[in-house]
Amino acid sequence: MASLYVEELLARAEEREAETLRSVTVHKELDLEFDAGNLLAVDKNPVARAVAREGAAREDLLRVLARDNTQLLVGQLWALPSERAEGGSGPVVVKLPEPSTRLPREKPLPKPRPLTRWEQFARLKGIRPTRKKRGTLVWDEAAKEWRRRWGYRRAGADPKRDWALEVPEGADPLEDQFAKRRQEKRERVARNEFNRLRNLARAHRGAAPELHPTGHQDRAELGRATAVARLATASRGRFQPRLPKEPPVAKSPGGGKKRHFGPVLGDLEGEKKRQLELVRSLNAKKPPLDLTRAVNKQLRQEDAEAAAGKAKGKKRGQRGKRGRRQQQRPGGGGGAKGKKSGGAARRGSQGGPGRIGGKRKKK
C-alpha cells in the first residue's frame, strides 16, 4: 500500500515539474539568434499571415509572438553567469558578453598625430627618448607638498616671485634684470608657438585633401582636391579643359613659374635695365636678404646656443661625478687628477668637490 503511495507521489511531482517547465519552454521551428550584449534576439521564423489582417486578432497574435520570443531571450540571459552587485549585498546582475552585432561607428577612427620635425628626425636616426614621461606633480622640498611642475603655484621657487635678482658678472648694472627675464620668457614662448605652427603646416603641406565619400566638403578643400586631381593625367594636366566658373590656376604643372624667353629684338630699354641690375647684384658685397632664410638661420643659431649651454651644464655634472669616483679609488693618479681639477677651478667654482676630495686623500 505504502509503495503505491510513493509511486503516486513521484508521478505527481514529475507531472508538476513537467508543467512548470512547459510554462517556460517555447518551441520554435528555427532557433532564434541571440546577441546578449545588445539584449537582442532575432526570430527568423515566418510570421503567421493572419497578422497582416486588420483587427483585434492581430494584437493578440503579436503579443503571443512577443511573449514567446521574450521568454526565449530571458532564458538566454538568465543562463549567463550572475553575481550579486556591490560585493554581495546588491541586486543580482549578469555579466553581458561583448555585443556581436556589428554596427557603424559614429565618427571615423582617430588619426595618429603627425610626427613633429624632431620626432621624424629622431626616428630616422634611431634616437630613442632617454627620458621617461614626466609626471605633472613633483615634491616641493620647501613647501613640503606635491606641486605642479609648471604654471601657477609650481614646485621649487617660482622665478616670477623672486623679489631680488643677482646682476651677473660683466653685465650692465643699470640693466633691468626683471625685464630681461620677462623678455626671454616671452621669446621662448613665441619660438615654441612658432615651431608648433611650423610643424602643423608641415603636416598639412604634403597630404592631398581626402575626398569624403558622401561628397559634402567645404569649398576650399574641394578646390585643393580638384587642383591635385587636375594633374593626374598622362600630360600632367596640360590639356585639361577649365570648367566654366573655375578660377584660373597656375599654368605650369608644378604650380611654379614658367620661364619665358624675351624677344630677341625690340625692348632695348628693358634689356639694359635687367643687365645693369644683374651687374649691380654681382658687385654688391651684401647678398640680397631672404627673409625666411634669415629667420630660420637666426632660430637655428639660437637653438644651437641653447643646446651648447645645456651641454656645458652636463659636462660639469660629469666632472663632478668623476671627481667623486676618483675619491673612492685608493692611491695613484693623484697628480694627474690635481691638474684636471685645477682646470675646472679656473673656469669657476664647479671643480669644488674634486679638489676637496684630493686634499682629503693627501691626509
Partner 1 sequence: MQEGIPQKMDSLDRVVKPKTKRAKRFLENRAPKLTENTKNAMFIKGGNASSTVTDALKDIYALKKPFAVLYKKKNVTRPFEDQTSLEFFSKKSDCSLFLFGSHNKKRPNNLVIGRMYDYHVLDMVELGIEKFVRLRDLKNSKCPEGTKPMLIFAGDAFDLSENHRRLKSLLIDFFRGPTVPSVRLAGLEHVLHFTAVDEKIYMRSYKVLLKKSGCKIPRIELEDMGPSLDLVIRRTHLASDDLYKLSLKQPKALKPKKKKNISHDAFGTKYGRIHMQKQDLDKLQTRKMKGLKKRPAEMKTGNEHSPKKAKLG
Residues lying near partner 1 in the complex (CB under 8 A) are found at 16-17, 20-21, 23-24, 37-47, 49, 51-52, 58-59, 62-63, 65-67, 69-71, 73-75, 77-78, 82, 85, 91-96, 99, 101-111, 113-114, 197, 200, 203, 212-214, 216-218, 221
* Terminal Cα distance for the chain, rounded: 115
**Residues 22, 82 contacting (CB under 8 angstroms):** no
Q: How far is the CB of 233 from partner 1 (least distance, A)?
A: 24
Comparison of 11 and 308: residue with beta carbon closer to partner 1:
11
Eight-class DSSP state of 110: P
CA distance 21 to 306: 82
Q: How far is the CB of 78 from partner 1 (least distance, A)?
A: 5
How do strand 33-35 and strand 82-84 relate by DSSP bridges?
unpaired
Comparison of 166 and 218: residue with beta carbon closer to partner 1:
218
**Run of H or E residues at 352:** helix 352-362
Which alpha helices (H) appear in 109-176, and where do they start and end? Answer: 117-125
Comparison of 59 and 303: residue with beta carbon closer to partner 1:
59
Q: Which residue has the cell 671627481?
A: 323
Q: How far is the CB of 292 from partner 1 (least distance, A)?
A: 19
Q: How far is the CB of 297 from partner 1 (least distance, A)?
A: 25
Comparison of 65 and 249: residue with beta carbon closer to partner 1:
65
CA distance 328 to 336: 16
Largest CA distance in the chain: 140
Comparison of 82 and 183: residue with beta carbon closer to partner 1:
82
Eight-class DSSP state of 209: P
Q: How many CA atoms lie within 13 A of 51 on its CB side?
A: 10
Q: How far is the CB of 65 from partner 1 (least distance, A)?
A: 6
Q: How far is the CB of 353 from partner 1 (least distance, A)?
A: 40
Eight-class DSSP state of 31: P
Comparison of 16 and 251: residue with beta carbon closer to partner 1:
16
